[in-house]
Amino acid sequence: MAPRSLPGEALSSWLARFGARYDLSGPGLAMALLRGTERDADDAALHHHLRRLDAAAWPALDRVLASAARLDLSAVEALRRRCSDHWSRVGPPPWCQACVATTAARDGEVHWRAEWMFAFWVICPVHRRLLGRACPLCARDCFARPIAGRLRLWCPACARDVTTQACTRPSLWPLSEPPRSRVCPAIVVDPRLRETLRRMQGDLLHAVSGRRPTGPWGRSSSPERFLEAVRALSFLALAATWHARPSVRRPRTLTPDWSFCEEPPAVVAGALAVVSAVLASAFEPPWPGVAWTPELLRGGETPDIAAGSLCWHLAPDETGLLTRLLPTTLLAYRDAFEQGLAATASVLARNREAARRRAGFGGAQRLRDAQSRRAPPA
């Protein structure tokens, strides 16, 4: 009763559709199959593996799946592709409602693409919509579950199947939203950001498979350096958009395994927009589509996001992190950041970020004005 895998489908998606035939979730089916063969399989370890199904090799599962589906082992292994562990989302991915509605109208059920498991994949290149987990009717979280032997999207709030429901809400956050309701109130974006995000996520996916980026943010970088630069700057950019989401879990320092794997696309897209502009600013004039919100700017300051202007959003310990990153990972961008750090040190007090957070975002401009009045003339 195993369904055929679809072109570009993620292993976790095929497993979820397979499970739906038996009214089980994907992980539920995997647990049932594994318990038959591995007597001492421990539940905690199984759950950990199941959350990283598309990224980490798991020969025991591949074998039981191949046998249950009457497929060659290589056919199951071939479904696990494109995402390395470091860059893979955990658990079910966010989706493009337009893609889901179109393909489900054809196939009778939901499936998800391997790219959607990639932590930096935030926008659908076909429909130019931000990926998400929201119900197209009520905007609350919904999820895939088996209904009558097929995998469908179910909204608990609407208490209905919303699989083929067209989106009636705006297609990309946060276009034209007032600062208070933006996910990342430090920045404003316009529709050109869609193209930026599409190119950036494409370059990141290429880089994971060893290809050089083609965008103005890293043409000269090796794929490894480019990935590490984006990862490090994303960590810092989250601080710049931090106020919006104090609940974002983030370590204080950049650890080797930190990535966006648990963040929702709206947060990843905000940070990635800042990173794209910052990296491009080392090579080109201001990159269009994203800018600092006017409330943050001092008199005469332009809203362009660049290496220098990212520096004044950072707390002192984060500026230290940036300095440590400069000699190695971010060599190509070093000059731009050094200018930014020098300008920041001459204008802003060391405790500015802590004070800004206490003051709230609306207080940022007043605070910066006061600090620059106190600073000695250059």
Residues that bind Zn ion (CB under 5 A): 96, 98-99, 124, 126-127, 135, 137-138, 155, 157-158
Nearest approach in angstroms of CB 136 to Zn ion is: 8
Residue 56 or 98 having the CB closest to Zn ion:
98
Residue 169 or 298 having the CB closest to Zn ion:
169
**CB-side exposure of 300: number of CA atoms within 13 Å?**
3
Residue 158 or 175 having the CB closest to Zn ion:
158
Residue 157 or 354 having the CB closest to Zn ion:
157
Collect all residues with Cβ–Cβ distance below 8 Å to 258 and sequence separation of at least 6: 231, 235, 250, 251
Nearest approach in angstroms of CB 135 to Zn ion is: 3
Residues shown for the chain:
378
Nearest approach in angstroms of CB 114 to Zn ion is: 14
- Measure the CA–CA gap between 329 and 346, rounded to whole angstroms: 25
Residue 138 or 248 having the CB closest to Zn ion:
138
Nearest approach in angstroms of CB 126 to Zn ion is: 5
Nearest approach in angstroms of CB 42 to Zn ion is: 36
Nearest approach in angstroms of CB 142 to Zn ion is: 6
Residue 135 or 186 having the CB closest to Zn ion:
135
Nearest approach in angstroms of CB 151 to Zn ion is: 17
- Measure the CA–CA gap between 81 and 115, rounded to whole angstroms: 9
Classify each residue of 174-197 as buried b or exposed e, where b means 16 or more C-beta atoms within 10 Å of its C-beta.
beeeebeebbbbbbbbeeebbebb
- Measure the CA–CA gap between 205 and 236, rounded to whole angstroms: 21
Collect all residues with Cβ–Cβ distance below 8 Å to 331 and sequence separation of at least 6: 225
- Measure the CA–CA gap between 165 and 340, rounded to whole angstroms: 47
Residue 157 or 375 having the CB closest to Zn ion:
157
Nearest approach in angstroms of CB 341 to Zn ion is: 40
Alpha carbon distances (Å) from 85 to 21, 81, 278, 315 = 28, 11, 26, 30
**CB-side exposure of 83: number of CA atoms within 13 Å?**
31
Q: Where are the beta strands (DSSP E) in 119-162?
A: 143-147, 150-155, 160-161
Residue 161 or 177 having the CB closest to Zn ion:
161
Query: What is the token pair recorded at 303?
Result: 């809203």
Query: What is the token pair recorded at 154?
Result: 């179910």
